[in-house]
Chain A
């Protein structure tokens, strides 16, 4: 089985979010970038398929050269090879077109992406790859098993979960649950050394039309201070929620 894991390179959650160039660009100054958490869960599941079922695992990112340390980290965790599509990731649709092209060229059976990336929160790339490559698609995937070309998966739904069956080729929008946090791997020295020898191929983009464009960013207005209510005066809390906030 050939697996492609899509890795989006995102600011660590604790980063300060600021914008530059007249609020049109994300300010990367002082920001630490990480593998998108949803992708890290997916990559770890891919490692299981590699170790237990002999799968071959490639990681891919659409982005500039600055994302290479993130891809190297994925190689150090255990992926066999990495691909970087050399174009800035400006819009989910065009990222999906690049990735779909990588999928077609490489003939991957399984594409693992994340439910959403924590920067732009588009939640669209995996579904679009599935649509563009005519593959089956399971979103919010929290458990994934594959035997031959038959797939059993569990996905989260509003208010519960459901078990589904399908077949390869398949695209996954994964999240926590596909593996647990305790399964995540911190690259060790050997992994880091080996990662340096593994291939990281840079390819050119196929089509650079964009369907959507970011015009401007804005930060929410600063929030007013919390209104404290004494624990001896809970009637006041109910009054505030009813009369002032109008939520009960």
Chain B
């Protein structure tokens, strides 16, 4: 009956989002009066999950699952859910979890709610609040199936530490034909990815050209942030396509989003609305972004950004 949570890792190390979904699973388990079981796939150290409410960890180590495969991972999670008799399975909103979730829903014949932003408001009927209409509204959704899958929106629930410890148990699911083979991966390993980032520094057409991205990179560096851009910037080839955020690009749900030289078109805002705190730096006080932002600086990026970098360095040095 325990709540099952898939806690993701990368190169053997649990990701921050793993602790967030574990915290969420703990909240659900408390409502249902049960325990939390986590499943990890090729993760090395899983003991820290105990600090976020996990009671037991099913550790899968399988060389076939070395690179992510939605079907294979969904099969492993399905078998863990069946073994534990879980009625609720908690996933994150990482690209990988969103990829495997609908397959898992079919395997478990479970209703699935994605982009969930809060603990269930009721357990019978099982009802969760999710964001919809590109964050322009919230939807209360009831899941009526016996088994339920909840995809938690990144940074929406936060981390909740408890004092506890998790026991580890080796688990060997049987994996059928994977169907899809990864031929090559092209990924900047030294950079913070937009999906994992707590802070995102984003530049728009107001920056005039790719040669001016040095200061964006540097600001991101000082803050430990990921870099992103508006769509025209990637269309013009100033920045790689993977950095484009918005309705047709990557969604951003960071704690802090800093928009520099971005006007704030509705299609851009659609993708970044889920970010908690928004800062805009723009020469034009009429730019629509000022209506969406929490903090704003009306000023020239070429003056404001270098000065902000210096001041942030001084601030960080004091911390």
Kindly list chain A residues whose C-beta atoms are within 8 Å of the C-beta of B68.
Answer: 157
Q: Is the CB of B188 within 8 A of A159?
A: yes
User: Which residues, 184 to 199 on B, are CB-close (under 8 Å) to A?
Assistant: 184-189, 191, 193-196, 198-199
Q: Is the CB of B296 within 8 A of A229?
A: yes
- Contact status of A210 and B196, CB under 8 A, knowing A160-B188, A226-B291: no
Q: Which listed residue (A164, A218, A240) contacts B140, Cβ 8 A?
A: A218
Q: Does chain B have a CB within 8 A of A51? A: no
Q: Which listed residue (A96, A160, A212, A230) contacts B141, Cβ 8 A?
A: A212
Kindly list chain B residues whose C-beta atoms are within 8 Å of the C-beta of A211.
Answer: 110-111, 143-145
Q: Does chain A have a CB within 8 A of B290? A: yes
- Contact status of A241 and B277, CB under 8 A, knowing A17-B133, A214-B140, A228-B297: yes
Against B, the Cβ 8 Å flags (1 = close, 0 = not) of A145-166 are: 0000000100011111111111
B267 CB, nearest partner CB in chain A, Å: 6
A207 CB, nearest partner CB in chain B, Å: 13
User: Which residues, 287 to 311 on B, are CB-close (under 8 Å) to A?
Assistant: 290-300, 303-304, 307-308, 311
> Looking at chain B, what size class is its interface with the partner chain?
35 or more
Kindly list chain B residues whose C-beta atoms are within 8 Å of the C-beta of A131.
Answer: 102-103, 105-107
Q: Does chain A have a CB within 8 A of B35? A: no
Q: Which of A102-110, A135-143, A196-204 touches B?
A: A135-143
A140→B107 CA distance, assembly (Å): 21
A186→B115 CA distance, assembly (Å): 33
Q: Is the CB of B131 within 8 A of A124?
A: no
The residue in chain A whose Cβ has the minimal distance to the Cβ of B281 is: A231
A222→B180 CA distance, assembly (Å): 45
Q: Which listed residue (A220, A234, A241) contacts B256, Cβ 8 A?
A: A241
Q: Is the CB of B134 within 8 A of A159?
A: no
A142→B110 CA distance, assembly (Å): 29
B146 CB, nearest partner CB in chain A, Å: 10
Q: Which of A54-62, A64-72, A115-123 touches B?
A: A115-123
Q: Which listed residue (A92, A122, A235, A247) contacts B276, Cβ 8 A?
A: A247
User: Which residues, 77 to 131 on B, are CB-close (under 8 Å) to A?
Assistant: 94-96, 98-103, 105-107, 110-115, 127, 131
Q: Is the CB of A218 within 8 A of B112?
A: no
Listed residue (B267, B293, B295) with the most chain A CB atoms within 10 angstroms of its CB:
B295
A138 CB, nearest partner CB in chain B, Å: 7
Kindly list chain A residues whose C-beta atoms are within 8 Å of the C-beta of B242.
Answer: 156, 159-161
Q: Which listed residue (B110, B137, B241, B255) contacts A19, Cβ 8 A?
A: B137
Starting from the known contacts A13-B247, A93-B105, A166-B179, 19 additional A-B residue pairs (CB-CB under 8 Å) come to A13-B270, A14-B266, A19-B137, A121-B114, A123-B102, A139-B70, A156-B95, A160-B193, A162-B183, A163-B183, A212-B111, A217-B138, A227-B296, A228-B296, A228-B297, A234-B307, A234-B308, A242-B315, A247-B255
- Contact surface of A with B, Cβ cutoff 8 Å: 11, 13-14, 17, 19, 37-38, 91-93, 96, 118-128, 130-132, 136-140, 142, 152, 156-166, 173, 175-177, 181, 210-220, 223-224, 226-231, 234-235, 237-238, 240-242, 245, 247-248
7 contacts between A and B (CB under 8 A): A17-B136, A121-B131, A131-B102, A131-B103, A212-B111, A212-B145, A248-B312
